[in-house]
Chain A
Amino acid sequence: MFEELMKPQTIDMILKGIRETLYMTLFSTLLGYVFGLPMGVLLTISDEGGLWPHKLLYKVLDVIVNIVRSIPFLILLIVLIPFTRFVTGKGYGPTATVVSLTVAAIPFIARVVESSLKEVDAGVIEAAKSMGAGTFRIVWKVLLVEARTSLIVNATIVVGTILGYSAMAGTVGGGGLGDIAVRYGYYRYEVGIMIVTVVLLVLLVQIFQTIGMLIARRLDRRRTGTGAAE
């Protein structure tokens, strides 16, 4: 069952799959944060008791996030094909998948950013206010800095989830390792190739998780140990 694996073209295919998966995951996470982070900040500050309460804005964002989050990713992927084609000119392949992954990532990211920022001690925000800091400065210098560790931990979770989604996109020809697993493992019963791709996916998640946690811990100053001092 493994002889197919040893062929150079198979190895090339798997390497390409890794590249595509990384490309899709990281690029859509990045794009997701470009839109999701501000959205999460807005959700945090516009909520009741926030820095800049705005009932209507919060409600609108909240509903949008909930709608997109409740659509199963596979359905979203198919629903978005016309939009994807409009943006990238193609309905399939890694770049097309980035579009739908980003759309799925934005509300997810907004939610986790909101939960991280809401963990920031209200007292610290009040102290900043008492010093005459404006809303923008408090968001930039207090909320995002104080929530740094939690934001990074959550970003790690986001990357893992997007990686899983990208593999799911394989079922509709999205490219990447998931695509290979579906095409060879599911349609052609090449169990060997399927196992290899699955193992690679697990490894990737593991690597991202480890790196994310390492960075989070290195940046956290709330520990009393020596590691926190520079």
Chain B
Amino acid sequence: MSDIIVENLSKTFLSKDGTVEALKNVNLEIHSGDIYGIIGMSGAGKSTLVRCLNYLEVPTEGRVLIDGKPLSSFSEKELRAERQSIGMIFQHFNLLMQKSVEANVCFPMQIKGKSRADARKRAAELLELVGLSEKRKSYPAQLSGGQKQRVAIARALAMDPKILLCDEATSALDPQTTVQILELLKEINQKYGITIVIITHQMSVVRAICSHVAILKDGEVAETGLVSDIFAHPKTQVAKELLRNDVGNDVQMKAPDGAKTKDKIQHGEIIRIVFSENSAFEPVIANMMLTFQEPVNILKADTKNVGGVAKGEMILQFRKHSQKKEEMKQYLLDRGLAVGEAPEYV
């Protein structure tokens, strides 16, 4: 059983300079309960695609089926009713600026025809869920970006949707806030079983919470599959490119079953090494392991090639009770690397 099926979808826009093919023959299958990422660079057609999923954009060709029913078969009125079961959040939050937080969350329930009292009660529950109970009477202008997106999420959930569409929902947020919002989305997905479709240009977002991903390039689907597969074996050029750009802003999600993973990592001493000098000409880590005949665990590697020299950092973990770790540290220092502590990994 599938929640969302996209079949041979094409969308052409008419503009003054002729036609623009935003989407070309897109096929997707998004299963119920998935967190599905749609990634692509600017202009790849992601935003158009997500708007086709609730028919804010009507496709030029092809079909969108929600629970087996094609959206094209709906009348305007039925379509509006269907949209109430598909929540949507946006990059710029799109809250009613003249309405209080509570009124914003109540808005979709009023559309649905809920009584004011019921709507308020539900709004209070939802604001509690997103952690903004005390901001009930505030106005959006008084909130931070992350808080605004939480309000938007509460508003989207007010309709009890089965699907939540996120259009670049974290792109206007800083990395830490992004993590919090993604954690909230994951929680919602697990708690209520809501299918989540995430449009993004950041691989780190996909990596953090998506189970499946579709890579979009120039309006076409280049690759689809499990996130883990694509990270392991990117088949297409664009997938490789997106992965290559995926450095630096790592999204540090809480591990799902935190303790267990943490135990595993806490085995030996963890150090941070920083590549700053000419250290790219020889494979330092590999040579070190060959020299000392002892493996180290690479927890994180974030290096960039700057003019033929590796710049960046790695987080290494030594074996428990390693006898050779001081020697190994010296080995690294001798090769022009800075060695330090990695407190956030301990």
A contact residues vs B (CB 8 Å cutoff) = 121, 123-124, 126-134, 137, 141-142, 145-146, 148-149, 219-224, 228-230
Contact = CB atoms under 8 A, between A and B. Distances in A.
A131 B107 contact: yes
Contacts of B110: 141
B137 A229 contact: yes
Contacts of B86: 130
B119 interface: no
Given A124-B96, A131-B88, A223-B141, 7 more contacts: A123-B94, A130-B88, A131-B84, A131-B111, A131-B155, A131-B159, A229-B142
A148 B96 CA distance: 12
A4 to B, nearest CB: 52
B281 to A, nearest CB: 51
Contacts of B165: 130
B33 interface: no
B97 A222 contact: yes
Interface string B77-117: 00111111011101010111111100000011011100000
Nearest to A125: B94
B56 to A, nearest CB: 6
B141 A131 contact: no
24 contacts: A121-B94, A126-B90, A130-B56, A130-B86, A131-B83, A131-B88, A131-B107, A131-B108, A132-B80, A132-B81, A132-B82, A132-B159, A141-B107, A145-B96, A146-B97, A146-B98, A148-B98, A221-B98, A221-B99, A221-B100, A221-B139, A229-B139, A230-B100, A230-B137
B141 A224 contact: yes
Interface string B103-140: 00001101110000000000000000000000001111
A211 B30 CA distance: 56
A141 B107 CA distance: 9
Interface centre among A121, A132, A137 (most CB of B within 10 A): A132
A133 B99 contact: no
A146 B96 contact: yes
Given A141-B107, A222-B139, A127 B88 contact: yes
Contacts of A124: 94-97
Given A123-B90, A124-B95, A224-B142, A134 B137 contact: no
Contacts of B97: 121, 124, 146, 221-222
Interface of B: 54, 56, 79-84, 86-88, 90, 92, 94-100, 107-108, 110-112, 137-142, 152, 155, 159, 165
A142 B80 contact: no
Nearest to B110: A141
B92 A123 contact: yes
B46 to A, nearest CB: 15
Nearest to A147: B98
A149 B84 CA distance: 29
Contacts of A121: 92, 94, 97
A7 B114 CA distance: 66
A142 B96 contact: yes
Contacts of B155: 131
Contacts of A221: 97-100, 139-141
Contacts of B90: 123, 126-127
A172 B321 CA distance: 104
Interface centre among B82, B83, B137 (most CB of A within 10 A): B83
B96 A132 contact: no
B15 to A, nearest CB: 12
A132 B55 CA distance: 11
Contacts of A224: 141-142
Contacts of B83: 129-132
B123 to A, nearest CB: 14
A220 to B, nearest CB: 8
B120 to A, nearest CB: 15
Nearest to A137: B111
Contacts of A137: 111
Contacts of A219: 98
Contacts of A133: 80, 111
A223 B142 CA distance: 7
A149 B141 CA distance: 15
A134 B80 contact: yes
B194 to A, nearest CB: 15
The list of the 9 closest CB pairs from A to B, nearest first, reads: A127-B94, A132-B83, A123-B94, A132-B80, A130-B88, A131-B108, A132-B84, A221-B139, A222-B141
